[in-house]
């Protein structure tokens, strides 16, 4: 059994050192720390902590509010740990999900904590309403008066947050982008990412425009060559078709000749003769050219599919038979 610690604070000004010390004292050999709001469900370090848990391991936190800020999120994390056969322990609360009593206590404390936060929100709203009735306006004074410095600071903070979001998913999207751009349009690359299970930083599915914006940020900071931002050519010459077929072998989950043909039709790619329907023989011819050009040296080539056997004709249609 391994004890995996998780420490979290909400802002960069706060420190996780006290939590780290408590987790080490509890016997945690592996500790992941994070600076993020508790209401943010897309916390990469928390996801890594859960992924590291194996059967019999225990995820340990100092207090329950370091893990989740809502009962729904708390139960979601517990379900993920339970599916792995792992447990959860909070050092500051009498909680240990390896026993039924501990799980029941955890649900009660989570519900109480959520109720307390709801009361705080209601009191905050009431205080703001009372302040407005007395003529006091909340918010940043610089933004209210459209101060250039305040607006610039807010925009810089927003851009920094977006850059950080894109960097979190860069490892998942860049292999597809480098392999498929600019030969494939952005929408096709987005569909390829969806098939691989890659998601946007906010958890949604990738779209062509959203993917293009994210890659522009990565290219601006030097994480990918700007050649991927070039416009997809409309007319494809023979060499371009050879490259597309080679890319299909590298990206398709099951790159048979038939699947490659259907894939080329799906991205509206025309054959060398300008036709919209691809035949297996055309794909096989381009594969031969890709091998000759050294584009598929490390990949096993798709084998031609065996011809389908025709079903036996009904007895009435055999020689000498008559229709009923």
Q: Is the dihedral of CA 289, 292, 294, 300 positive or negative?
A: positive
Cα–Cα nearest to 250, from 305, 310, 297: 297
Contact, 242 vs 293, CB < 8 A?
yes
Taking phi first (over 0 means left), then psi (-120 to 50 degrees means alpha), and beta for anything else, what does residue 220 get? alpha
N-terminal to C-terminal alpha carbon distance within the chain: 73
The CA–CA distances, whole Å, from 268 to 15, 161, 310 equal 54, 37, 31
Contact, 65 vs 120, CB < 8 A?
no
- At 148 the three-state DSSP class reads helix
Cα–Cα nearest to 61, from 137, 4, 128, 103: 4
Q: How many residues does the chain have?
A: 324
Q: Is 39 a catalytic residue?
A: no
Could you say which of 10, 90, 99, 192 is catalytic? 10
Q: What would the 3-class secondary structure string for 296-307 be? A: CCCCCCCCCCCC
What are the residue numbers of the active site?
10
């Amino acid at each position: 059994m391994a004890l995996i610690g998780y420490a979290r604070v909400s802002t960069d000004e706060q420190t996780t050192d006290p939590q780290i010390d408590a987790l080490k004292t509890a016997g945690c050999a592996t500790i992941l720390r994070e600076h993020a709001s508790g209401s943010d469900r897309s916390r990469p370090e928390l996801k890594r902590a859960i992924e590291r848990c194996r059967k019999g391991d225990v995820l340990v936190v100092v207090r329950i509010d370091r893990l989740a800020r809502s009962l729904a999120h708390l139960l979601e994390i517990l379900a993920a740990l339970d599916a792995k056969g792992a447990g959860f322990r909070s050092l500051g609360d009498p909680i240990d999900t390896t026993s039924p009593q501990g799980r029941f206590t955890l649900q009660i404390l989570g519900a109480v904590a959520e109720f307390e936060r709801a009361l705080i929100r209601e009191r905050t709203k009431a205080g703001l309403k009372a302040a407005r009735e007395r003529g006091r306006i909340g918010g940043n004074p610089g933004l209210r008066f459209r101060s250039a410095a305040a607006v610039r600071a807010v925009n810089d903070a927003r851009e920094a947050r977006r850059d950080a979001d894109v960097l979190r998913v860069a490892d998942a999207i860049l292999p597809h982008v480098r392999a498929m751009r600019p030969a494939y349009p952005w929408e096709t690359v987005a569909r390829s990412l969806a098939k691989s299970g890659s998601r946007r930083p906010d958890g949604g599915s990738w779209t062509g425009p959203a993917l293009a914006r994210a890659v522009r940020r990565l290219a601006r900071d030097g994480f990918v060559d700007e050649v991927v931002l070039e416009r997809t050519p409309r007319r494809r010459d023979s060499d371009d078709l050879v490259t597309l077929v080679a890319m299909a072998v590298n990206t398709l989950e099951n790159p048979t000749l038939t699947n490659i043909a259907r894939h080329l039709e799906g991205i509206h790619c025309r054959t060398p003769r300008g036709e919209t329907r691809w035949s297996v023989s055309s794909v096989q011819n381009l594969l031969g050219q890709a091998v000759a050009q050294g584009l598929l040296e490390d990949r096993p080539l798709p084998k031609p599919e065996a011809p389908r056997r025709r079903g036996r004709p009904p007895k009435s249609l055999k020689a000498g038979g008559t229709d009923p």
